[in-house]
Amino acid sequence: MSEVPDGVEMGSVSRKVRPSATMMITRDGSNGVEVLLGRRAETMPAFPGYWAFPGGGLSRVDKLAVEELTQLDGPNAAAIAAIMREVVEELGFACSDGKIVAVDDAARNLVVADKANWLPQVKLRNIPCDIRGIRHISSRTTPPFGPVLFENTFLHIHGGSSQDVPQPSIVGQTEFVEFTWQSAEQLLAKWKTHEMKIAPPVVTLLMQLKRTLAQFDGDMELSAEEMEKQQIGRRSILFAHGVEVVPVKTATLPPADHTNSYLIGDPEGDFVLVDPAARMREGMEALAIAVERHNGNLLAIVFTHPHSDHLGDFDLLREAFDVPIWGSQQTSSHIPCQRILHDGETLQLGNQKWKVLQTPGHHPGHICLLGDAGLVAGDMVAGIGTILIPPGEGDMDQYLQQLQRLIDLEPHLIFPSHGPVIPLPEKKLKYYLDHRSARHQRVLDAVAVGNSKLAQISRVAYQDSPDAHPLLAQDQTLSHLLSHQRSGKVVEENYNWKII
């Protein structure tokens, strides 16, 4: 167990699934069907800077609307109410007679100010709420690596001709900073070249839309009927083009109780499987299904480092995949590796190139992989919380140096071993560097003012994190002390620490 959310005690994180609703809105453009996507503000907690559909969580307002509005009926009534409210807030849109219409500014401003105003405005007929033309095209639960799980109902409405569909408005709302109407093919092309960051469920729905439109000669109504009929759930989680994640249940600290295994490389050519951490048949089957679904050729299994929450059951791995194992020299001293990976070498994976980076600190043999899509980061950073530096084999100074190195490399995205994709790499890496550097100094300051015992030093150094698990805090304090000892700043005698 090598990761922990900073300041979060073991077992203290709720995993309750929350309902939410999202809507794909389409229109007929001059060159075929176009989809509306909005770019989320970088201040948003989920998928900042990503392009996504409008939507949000279900509220008490939506449940009350189901009770009071007769047109809201059926199993998805609350989700439809939620999306009707959300598109008013986020776009200035409403649905009427199967079409998209603009909402009066005064009514919309009331809803933006307080979502509870939506229902009274609907009752006063200042905001339309007509569910005709809305289809339920998919239901998906967010992957288990996130801090909050959502059961998301994906809906669709086709607004008709581009001449009839109003332009969305960003005035007043804070979730989206801009909008675009483009075809599914155009959006996917920009996603493949990393020009646009598009949320994973949106990517797979755009792929399905592209297929169904081709099947029905561009007829959106027939395509929507087919998508409603198929009800395709989550099959693959595409963090970026050439980066598919398969979360595997492992013995790590909650909420990071899964390890992300990755399929990295050309979706139509050679690829590698990174950190297949499955020790149970269920996890191994999920990995096998993902590899089998891939259109390319599995070249090897790559391990970022040999910690137990990254290593799968080798008997099961050999049974499922007859490929060699690649890793660093230090990793090869723990597990058999048929190829040693060195800092700076390039892995040619079909039409993609991934550079090997040796990044010691968390483990002396830790490696990352850097490509145009971003950084497969292993345990350098996590999508939730911070990374533990083990006192015995870790090195805090090296870890801080490698964080700065990664900042200088400016990765497009970060794909961590624990938690969701990191969409703003520079912000996250700088936070890590500042956070760890400040803790490093606080540990030194605690010794300088006369604290000599590990427990005392830890209490002083972690005063700003009162909820941190005391044993984990002491563990990390020791890592800081050992680094200060190696740099000649402190010395330990008979379990007492003092400044040199």
pTM: 0.92
Q: Look at the domain 441-499 and name its fold.
A: Arc Repressor Mutant, subunit A (1.10.10)
Contact 153, 141 (CB under 8 A): no
What's residue 45's pLDDT? 87
Alpha-carbon gap, residue 420 to 44, rounded angstroms: 14
pLDDT of 6 above 80? no
The CATH class that applies to domain 238-423 reads: alpha beta
Tell me where in the chain the CATH 1.10.10 domain(s) lie.
441-499
Computed over every residue of the chain, the mean pLDDT equals 92
pLDDT of 77 above 70? yes
Tell me where in the chain the CATH 3.60.15.10 domain(s) lie.
238-423
Alpha-carbon gap, residue 351 to 288, rounded angstroms: 23
The model's pLDDT over 416-443, given as tens digits with 9 standing for 90+, comes to 999 999 999 999 999 999 999 999 999 9
pLDDT of 3 above 50? no
Q: What share of the chain is helix, strand, coil (3-state, %, to 5)?
A: 35, 25, 40
pLDDT of 5 above 60? no
Residue 71 three-state SS: coil
Query: What is the C-alpha radius of gyration for the chain, rounded to an integer number of angstroms?
Result: 25
If phi over 0 gives left and psi between -120 and 50 gives alpha, with beta otherwise, what is residue 110?
alpha
Residue 23 CB-half CA count within 13 A: 30
Place 253 in a pLDDT band, splitting at 50, 70 and 90: low
The model's pLDDT over 301-325, given as tens digits with 9 standing for 90+, comes to 999 999 999 998 898 898 899 999 9
CB atoms within 10 A of CB 123: 13
Which has the minimum average pLDDT: 46-60, 220-234, 244-258?
Answer: 244-258
pLDDT of 500 above 70? yes
Find residue 93's DSSP bridge partners.
102
What's residue 252's pLDDT? 66
The model's pLDDT over 135-188, given as tens digits with 9 standing for 90+, comes to 999 999 888 887 778 889 999 999 999 999 999 998 888 899 999 999 999 999
Alpha-carbon gap, residue 30 to 14, rounded angstroms: 48
Alpha-carbon gap, residue 493 to 358, rounded angstroms: 34
Which has the minimum average pLDDT: 379-388, 395-404, 405-414?
Answer: 379-388
Residue of 295 and 405 predicted with greater confidence = 405
What's residue 58's pLDDT? 94
The model's pLDDT over 26-74, given as tens digits with 9 standing for 90+, comes to 999 999 999 999 999 999 988 999 999 999 999 999 999 999 999 999 9
pLDDT of 4 above 90? no
Q: Look at the domain 10-235 and name its fold.
A: Nucleoside Triphosphate Pyrophosphohydrolase (3.90.79)
What's residue 69's pLDDT? 95
Sequence letter at residue 254:
P
What's residue 256's pLDDT? 64
pLDDT of 229 above 80? yes
